[in-house]
Structure 1
Amino acid sequence: MNPEIKSYFPILKQEINGHPLVYLDSAATSQKPTPVIEALKEYYGSDNSNVHRGVHTLGNRATEKYEGAREKVQQFINANSTQEIVFLRGTTTAINLVAQSYGRANVEEGDEIVITYMEHHSNIIPWQQLAKERGAVLKYIELEEDGTISLENVRAAITDRTKIVSMVYVSNVLGTMNPVKEVAKIAHEHGAVMVVDGAQAAPHLKIDVQDLDCDFFAFSGHKMVGPTGIGVLYGKKQLLEAMEPVEFGGEMIDFVGLYDSTWKELPWKFEGGTPIIAGAVGLAAAIDFLEEIGLDAIEKHEHHMAAIAMDKMSAIEGLEIYGPEDPAKRAGIVTFNLKEVHPHDVATVLDMSGIAVRAGHHCAQPLMKWLNVTATARASFYLYNDESDIDRLVEGLRSAKEYFSDVF
């Protein structure tokens, strides 16, 4: 990866606690490059207006940028049509929309919803609530010892009573890259729809929803060098057309009478109220930035970073790494624990050296239970990280180990 990439991220130029910042928490949220920051400044400074309604110049400019962003997202994930691209607040909102609209209309008592133990809470709780409401059965696909899933276990879990299969493409804890294309095929053989949580995949892998043949795909802008508060739900057109909106108000209506109303066509019937205009503008700039670098190059860089990190971290006695041992089977995420040291303490000591990692259950408590831990520390790499960041991390971990050895 070009070493100059880091220079596009102004936040990385600062010092934390007297040390140059090493940011290893991109799985939580990514940092923003100058082109994205400038795109937001330009929109607010020159084009700020509501969209679709006005006929004045600013309104037209804002509408062009907003709908232009939709076209860019369509091309980014290779959807068939812009009608299949719904702008929402993020992955969480997108999955909830599928559960509340498609799920309520299609899941009945005794039907099955199938997920995995490695899901983020945002891909567990909506299905828990739907199952309770509809009297459905929530099932989990068993994991292999290394935190991967086998297609044999997928086939064992999915039956003719299964209506929805929902799975993370890339685990936010283990970094596991799941075979969602193959799982979608199995789901369709049983008449079920396939929902993909792509929050950790869209920033790092080339996404082709037509090739995956998933029915729904959700992702967030803030994890892919875009702004917070903007996300995308892709859905196959025929499914979205049959779904009812779950949020009502301005923008999403066609006609409102005293006692009844009708909705706009796709995708606007799902975008009630003033939409996330600036967020969409920033997301479009983020896509431009990522595509100029190349998603294939980003994926290759992250596999390289994960391999080096796992190799160097494994040399630290008492450090346990979770997830697939083969770096080719994981994204740039390395989750670990230091023996007899709470991950929050590890993260605090690393922060004193200017190294930012995540510590906690990572919104994945069922997976923590499966791992037989209460929490872990996580280093997540992105396009702006390099080998020197790994060396700083390893040095920091050795210092943390020595510090707590002396304390205890």
Structure 2
Amino acid sequence: MEQYFNKFREGIIGIDQEMEGIGGKKMPILYADWTASGRNYLPIEKRFQEILMPFVANTHTETSTTGTAMTYAYHEAQKLIKKHVNASKDDVIICAGSGMTAMINKFQRILELKGSVQFDNPNDKPVVFITHMEHHSNQTSWLETCVETVIIPPNEVGLVDLDAFKQLIEKYKSRKTKIASVTACSNVTGIQTPYHEIAKLIHDAGGYCFVDFACSAPYVNIDMHPEEEGAHLDAIMFSPHKFLGGPGSSGVLIFNNQLYNRSVPDHPGGGTVDWTNPWGVHKYIDDIEAREDGGTPGFLQTMKTAMSITLKEEMGVENMLKREEELLEILFDKLESQDNIHILAGQHKDRLGVVSFYIDDLHYNVGVRLLNDHYGIQSRGGCSCAGTYGHYLLNVDQERSDRIVEQIKAGNFSEKIGWIRVSIHPTLTNEEVEYIGNCIIELAKNHRSMQSGYDSKASCGSIEHDQEDLDKAVKAKMLNALTSPFTK
């Protein structure tokens, strides 16, 4: 499959970019942080420049050529996105913010669940079930609403326990509003959840199912309305910036219009009213998509989302999954050969292209810094905004967790749980993934000697080179791009 993806690889902006490493050594940037964000795609950017941008104007009008062009392209982009996820005529799309975090918070406001509400009857308090694998955006956001948030525990092999979920549904059966808001795939381990099975269970109990596709949307088929009874999804959210070609897009929320009961839009403004008058009387548009799209929408961002989806469909989901399987096999074979490298949930190889690991006696931030400085590998260290899942993966009990919290309160983040995460893409070559694996092995063997010449930053578990600022050149380049005059 490597040869098949070469034609797509050629369009990635930065595919041949170099960086400066230790001792001023020039080396290629090897991007292995795809779960955090995708990369820009030159054919998409050219299409913007050559076809779309010459007609840029505000939407909300079809009486001028430019206004017609942008309004039409914007609405066609929305239709394309909805078609891609098999949304129905009763589903509403909202594109806003920069990703899933913005959309889940907006959705919670639309559902009028934000803020503190006192319930006279305990059964009036909504209950939201989440998995143990959630990104913070689908956990902490619910903790700041008026609902009771309940974690579905893992089973004995660390996967979502559907039997335990059934028991929780029975426990909370008297709640009038029951919601399962679950991730489709962990951004830590790449393990997917049985979200359609979760949907059937919560629907049988009279509830709703919302799914966060942020991690998996660039690589999998999404079907909001499968044929199987009860398996439909009432709402989905994802972050198109994680797609190849997606950086610069907006977040996407699609939900069933029966969930909308607001008399006032989430943010009233231009384009949300049928009329106003000087005496304080006004009427909001009935169409949900229009009334929740106040002000100038992110029309270019939405078009970029649509084009990134077009690119995804051109690459082909089956092709991408097959290629990721090939690359994961290479990476697993490498990392499992070294005793002091520990892959999180490593027994589960049926996953998307995400591998998180830790190395004995090496802080994750130090490891990421060394992979960058010595090898040009772009990875990510920390808890991947999934601290609760980290407790399960690393067997952190409450006593240890409390100790870590006390250290964090004192300004010491060095013991905060975390790992090194590499995430791959079908456009990577076999040679590149072998290189990533070999470099991680070399790091595991030699990380102590590799830290020579660095100053420790103990409070955050990181290091800085004491002879030179390795990031100085790239920072200067970024600043120059922002501040240099455009005319001479």
The TM tier, using the shorter chain, reads over 0.9
Aligned pairs (5 A) from 1:313-392: 313-323=335-345, 325-328=347-350, 330-352=351-373, 353-370=375-392, 371=394, 372=396, 374-392=417-435
Contact map agreement 1:53 1:59 (CA 8 A) in 2:
yes
Structure with the bigger RCO (C-alpha within 8 Å, sep 6+) is: 1
In structure 1, distance between residues paired with 2:450 and 2:73: 57
Contact map agreement 1:302 1:382 (CA 8 A) in 2:
yes
Other-structure match for 2:148: 137
Query: Is 1:22 aligned to residue 30 of structure 2?
Result: yes
Shift of 1:299: 1.9
Q: Alignment RMSD, CA only? A: 2.2
- String of CA shifts for 1:249-273, please: whole Å, max 9, x gaps: 1122223341444234031221111
Identify the range of structure 1 (230-239 vs 64-73) with the bigger mean alpha-carbon deviation. 230-239
Identify the range of structure 1 (108-117 vs 357-366) with the bigger mean alpha-carbon deviation. 108-117
- String of CA shifts for 1:225-284, please: whole Å, max 9, x gaps: 213341211111322466853222112222334144423403122111110011112112
User: What SS is found at the alignment partner of 2:242?
Assistant: coil
Shift of 1:357: 0.6
- Letter of the aligned partner of 2:242 in structure 1? K
Shift of 1:138: 1.4
- Give the TM-score, by structure 1 length: 0.92
User: What SS is found at the alignment partner of 1:267?
Assistant: helix
Aligned pairs (5 A) from 1:7-406: 7-17=10-20, 18-42=26-50, 45-53=53-61, 55-81=63-89, 84-89=92-97, 90-104=99-113, 109=122, 110-130=125-145, 134=146, 136-158=147-169, 159-160=172-173, 161=175, 163-211=178-226, 212-225=231-244, 226-240=246-260, 245-257=265-277, 258-323=280-345, 325-328=347-350, 330-352=351-373, 353-370=375-392, 371=394, 372=396, 374-406=417-449
Contact map agreement 1:95 1:122 (CA 8 A) in 2:
yes
Identify the range of structure 1 (232-241 vs 216-225) with the bigger mean alpha-carbon deviation. 232-241
User: What SS is found at the alignment partner of 1:11?
Assistant: coil
User: What SS is found at the alignment partner of 2:288?
Assistant: coil
Shift of 1:54: 5.0
In structure 2, distance between residues paired with 1:243 and 1:75: 28
In structure 2, distance between residues paired with 1:26 and 1:198: 14
Contact map agreement 2:356 2:421 (CA 8 A) in 1:
yes
Shift of 1:324: 5.4
Shift of 1:304: 2.6
User: What SS is found at the alignment partner of 1:335?
Assistant: strand
User: What SS is found at the alignment partner of 1:368?
Assistant: helix
Shift of 1:398: 2.2
- Letter of the aligned partner of 1:174 in structure 2? T
Shift of 1:21: 2.0
In structure 1, distance between residues paired with 2:384 and 2:225: 30
Contact map agreement 2:240 2:250 (CA 8 A) in 1:
yes
Task: Select the structure that is richer in helix.
Answer: 1
Contact map agreement 1:84 1:236 (CA 8 A) in 2:
yes
In structure 1, distance between residues paired with 2:450 and 2:68: 64
Q: Say which one has the larger Rg.
A: 2
Unaligned runs of 5+ in 1: none
Identity rate, percent: 26
- Give the TM-score, by structure 2 length: 0.78
Contact map agreement 2:225 2:233 (CA 8 A) in 1:
yes
Shift of 1:46: 0.6
